[in-house]
Structure 1
């Protein structure tokens, strides 16, 4: 009788241990999937950033302090806003690249992308002359094309993050998640789609 009770306890502990290892490995695999999905999205976001920075006037690409110290008309103020927004987005993107699971970091990435989008629209409206080559319409078309190319990658990242978040919040894996520091991931669902 004592031997069979001990055997049941050993079997129970072994099953719990095997379940724990499997659940932990699943959480690790899902978290790694979020990182892989962000790496693909990151490539698309870098393309958007390069596009914007490539459209800045040559003087703004070299020396930011000299440009900001000069008196600004409407066009140069629009370019300065775009430059500041692109720098802010570059910093947020670097942080997101190093912490693709962190929800506040992802929220900052979304906000900085929205600021970049608004600054881009302002620069096209206020700083690109009507006879410019390429025209504001062509620049906007290029921007929209880049935004639309990133949509499947953004969707894949969000789906990966949501699958991870569901796993982290399910009981009893929730206990392992808390024990080993698995926190819910942020998503980029509110990122501008091309307005």
Structure 2
């Protein structure tokens, strides 16, 4: 009787130590995803600042006078860029608040795609050939920011994949399900240079 009680308590203690260790590992992995996103977030914010800095003064100061007046093609391109920038800012804030949420990451990718499309359109339609800085120089700045983001995106994706693998492994998957750990989203296409 004493021997079976000893084995029971030993097994229970071992199970408890394993559960605490596995839980701490999952928490550390989730924290590494958050930390990797913080570095990526800073770089994505720089892209947004570049976009906002390139907008015409009339759009930057939020004085949308003549809102009913039809805009020319150049102003329409700037307005699309401004709207895409606002959408990206909202998606970035949402991803910052929930860096492990797959839906937030998917929204961030879609918003970034819209921002890139609007940026390309604004450079083509709204930046005059004799502008200073020129469309080519603005595009070079944009591409530099995109390329600086690539290693940060890779680090985030690797952290998210390590976390996702850990919450799918048995028996940690049981603990993850009970504790509410959800799979993290990755950023597959964000910042790829075109």
> How would you bin the TM-score normalised by the shorter chain?
over 0.9
Q: Deviations over 1:65-99 (max 9, x none)?
A: 43643311110110000000000000000011110
Alignment of 1:1-195 (within 5 A): 2-63=1-62, 65-66=64-65, 68-195=67-194
Report the TM-score, using the length of structure 2 for normalisation: 0.97
- Residue 165 to residue 68, structure 1, CA distance change in 2 (3 Å): farther
Contact 1:96 1:105 in 2 (8 A): yes
Where do 5+ consecutive residues of structure 2 fail to align? none
C-alpha separation between the residues in 2 aligned to 1:190 and 1:64? 35
Where do 5+ consecutive residues of structure 1 fail to align? none
C-alpha separation between the residues in 2 aligned to 1:85 and 1:99? 21
- Residue 149 to residue 60, structure 1, CA distance change in 2 (3 Å): same
C-alpha separation between the residues in 2 aligned to 1:126 and 1:66? 22
Secondary structure of 2:65's partner?
helix
C-alpha separation between the residues in 2 aligned to 1:104 and 1:64? 33
Secondary structure of 1:83's partner?
helix
Contact 1:161 1:187 in 2 (8 A): yes
Runs of 4+ in 1 over 2 A off after TM superposition: 64-70
C-alpha separation between the residues in 2 aligned to 1:174 and 1:68? 54
CA shift for structure 1 position 64 = 5.5
C-alpha separation between the residues in 1 aligned to 2:28 and 2:77? 44
RMSD: 1.0
- Greater Cα offset, 16-25 or 185-194: 185-194
Report the TM-score, using the length of structure 1 for normalisation: 0.97
Contact 1:59 1:67 in 2 (8 A): no
C-alpha separation between the residues in 2 aligned to 1:87 and 1:69? 20
CA shift for structure 1 position 15 = 0.6
C-alpha separation between the residues in 2 aligned to 1:67 and 1:8? 81
